[in-house]
Amino acid sequence: MTYNLKRAGFAQDGLPVDVDSEFDSPKTIDRIVQGLKAGGHTVYLVEATHDFPRWFLTHPVDMVFNIAEGIHGEHRESQVPAVLESLGVPFTGSNSVTLALALDKAKTKQILASEGIPTPAWQLFHSPTAALNPQLEFPLIVKPNREGSAKGIWRESVVGDEASLRCQIAHIYDRYQQEVLVEEFIQGLELTVGVLGDTALPVLEIDFSPCRASGEYFYSWRMKEFQGNAELALSPEFYCPARLDQKTAIRIQELTLRAHHALRCQDISRTDIRLRSDGIPFVLEVNPLPGLDPLDSNFPVMARAAGFSHERLIQRIVDLAICRFQKTRLQQSGCINPPVVQSTPFKVSANVCAEACCLPPAEASRVFPVSISRAPAYQQPVPGLFSRGASRDSTDRGEISAPNIRSIESAPLSIDVEVQRMSSVVRGDDRQRCIHMATPQLGVSTVSTDYPEAQTTSGVARREDIS
Ligand SMILES: Nc1ncnc2c1ncn2[C@@H]1O[C@H](COP(=O)(O)OP(=O)(O)O)[C@@H](O)[C@H]1O
Ligand SMILES: [Mg+2]
């Protein structure tokens, strides 16, 4: 596991109070390690300091659980993935390109805008004296372009006139020595949405109205840092799922998935959104390395609402990464077709087709455990069964259903599912087995997990028309 450790006492050393806000506490790291160990993994801790690459030169590992933010540089979050990519070591989460991009809020906004995803109108100041775009409407918010965890964001960051704007821009320049992002401040609901695999988790709403006495009214640094401190009146109310009608919630989840894919995030991300009072959701940023503290971070709250304990969440992230790396390996070896990720809810009303390849003859006709997730809201996968495997080079048909079916004979022909992954690639011993599932209507399939004998379970998506 690669990480950067939050050390108490930095502020006293004369460094800015928020200098290591993005880093993780020993408690967070400890809980992630517990989750990994409970998943049967042996864990080594590697702090992402300047000489961390040396460790990987002498220690071969199967997979890196990466939460490292990086210590310095414009693209610091991408440095651990870049080193691991160069060494060919698999790791969880997004690759170096995505991490570098997402750290740059303005670049992210350019990508979102080009994909038609609403994001607040903005201007990037490369110099504190640059002229203000007159089209921007006050109030504006002033933020460092390449920080996270609300670093450099205070209640004074929201400004109502040009004099205060100039003052804030100069302050950010001086303190963070980087470009300054100025955005229209969106009045409305604060929402954040996690993506796990290719599924949007239930929307989390953060209501700051109980914090009025503190003077804070959005996710400023003080609000994030002291969240939950009732004495400081910094206890926002959390609602997960958010208090939104179902249609709006789905719209927000879909928008989040688009933002996740626009940045090519992998395995996990969290998108921060402001829902304006006229119903338009504005994406503020995409976080491919969301906080994973079981108590203090928002991602685990959403995962919990979807039925994932913290332990299970950590293991799921590992499984997703294994899935990706196996899929890449299989694609490189020509075993499977390129995936099509499909996350639109749909109705399955016909047989599901399974094609099992590389399956030893003894395994060719058996019942496979599968999981189905019901649309539209994400729920825990429902166990089901898929029957009638096929031998290599042939295709066989069966039916899939949930919940509680005991055999293929009792399976109804129609089920509602939300597609998450389209097949399972299981590696046990030195055999490789693939199960692809698809429907005639959409050419998509279902989730397959928990293969009993498997050492690892993973999935790939595949579009397949059944004639
Ligand atoms: N344009 C905006 N309109 C309204 N609130 C904003 C805007 N930009 C930032 N905020 C507030 O500041 C918080 C932190 O901003 P964000 O861009 O997400 O930076 P960070 O990477 O530090 O989390 C947001 O969660 C939100 O509460
Ligand atoms: Mg944010």
State yes or no: pLDDT of 273 exceeds 90. yes
pLDDT at 327: 72
Could you give the angle at which helices 79-87 and 96-103 cross, rounded to 10 degrees? 170
pLDDT of residue 15: 67
In the predicted structure, residue 437 carries a pLDDT above the cut 50: no
**Tokens 């906004």 -> residue:** 109
Better-scored residue on pLDDT, 164 or 401: 164
Q: Which helix (H) or strand (E) holds 250?
A: helix 246-262
Cβ distance 64 to 89 under 8 Å?
yes
Which atom of ligand 1 is nearest the CA belonging to 148?
21
Q: For residue 52, what pLDDT is reported?
A: 94
pLDDT of residue 331: 64
Cα–Cα distance between 313 and 299 in angstroms, integer? 10
Is residue 232 within 8 A of residue 210, CB to CB? The reply is: no
Rounded to the nearest angstrom, the gap between the alpha carbon of residue 332 and the centroid of all alpha carbons in its chain is: 25
Q: Is 272 helix (H, G, I), strand (E, B) or coil?
A: strand
Q: What is the pLDDT of residue 4?
A: 95
- Between residues 159 and 422, which one has the greater pLDDT? 159
8 A C-beta contact, residue 384 and residue 403: yes
Rounded to the nearest angstrom, the distance between the alpha carbon of 272 and the centre of ligand 2 is 5
- Dihedral of CA atoms 113, 119, 124, 128 in degrees, nearest 10, equals 170
What is the model's pTM?
Answer: 0.74
Within its chain, how far is the Cα of 220 from the centroid? 22
Sign of CA dihedral 375, 377, 378, 383: negative
Q: What 8-state DSSP symbol labels residue 13?
A: G
Q: What are 150's two structure tokens? A: 């609300």
Between these two residues, 176 and 10, which has the higher pLDDT value? 176
Record the tokens describing residue 160, joined without a space: 């109502």
Collapse the DSSP code of 207 into the 3-class scheme (helix H, G, I; strand E, B; otherwise coil) and give the result: strand
- 289 contacts 77 by C-beta, under 8 angstroms: yes
Range list for CATH 3.40.50 in the chain: 2-101
Say how many Å lie between the CA of residue 9 and the centre of ligand 2. 24
User: Which runs of consecutive H residues, i.e. helices, occur in 308-395?
Assistant: 310-332
- The protein residue with its alpha carbon nearest to ligand 1, atom 25, reads 219
C-alpha 219/C-alpha 263 separation (Å) is 23
28-76 confidence digits (pLDDT tens): 999 999 999 998 999 999 999 989 999 999 999 999 999 999 988 889 9
Handedness of CA 119, 340, 66, 223 (dihedral sign): positive
CB of 186 closer than 8 Å to CB of 120: yes
Q: Which whole-number Å values give the CA distances from 427 to 308, 322, 326, in the listed order?
A: 24, 10, 9
pLDDT band at 13 (very low <50, low <70, confident <90, very high): low
Q: Domain 2-101 adopts which CATH fold?
A: Rossmann fold (3.40.50)
Q: Which residues of 202-226 are buried (b: 16+ CB within 10 A; e: fewer)?
A: bbbbbebeebeebebebbbbbbbbb
Q: Which of 218, 234, 271, 289 gets mutated to test ligand 1 (max ligand atoms within 8 A of its CB)?
A: 218
- State the alpha helices, DSSP H only, in 73-196: 79-87, 96-103, 105-114, 162-176
- The closest alpha carbon to 415, from 398, 397, 403, belongs to 403
Least-confidence region, from 204-218, 306-320, 368-382: 368-382
Window from 240-254, 261-275, 334-348, 442-456 with minimum mean pLDDT: 442-456
Q: What is the mean pLDDT of residues 335-364?
A: 33
CA of 23 to the centre of ligand 2 (A): 15
Per the CB < 8 A criterion, the answer to whether 84 and 60 are in contact is no
Residue nearest ligand 1's atom 11 by CA: 219
Rounded CA gap, 243 and 239, in Å? 7
For ligand 1, atom 12, the nearest C-alpha belongs to: 219
Mutate which of 272, 273, 287 to test ligand 1's pocket (most atoms within 8 Å of Cβ)? Answer: 272
Top mutation candidate among 23, 108, 153 for ligand 1, by most atoms within 8 Å of CB: 153
**Who lines ligand 1 at CB under 6 A?**
120, 141, 143, 147-151, 153, 183, 185-186, 190, 218-219, 272, 274, 284-285
Is residue 422 within 8 Å of 407, Cβ to Cβ? Answer: no
Q: Please name the residue whose Cα sits nearest to atom 13 of ligand 1.
A: 219
Q: Over 50: is that where the pLDDT of 441 sits?
A: no
* pLDDT tens, residue by residue, 105-119: 999 999 999 999 999
DSSP 233: T
Identify the residue with better confidence: 336 or 128.
128
Beta bridge partners of 281: 275
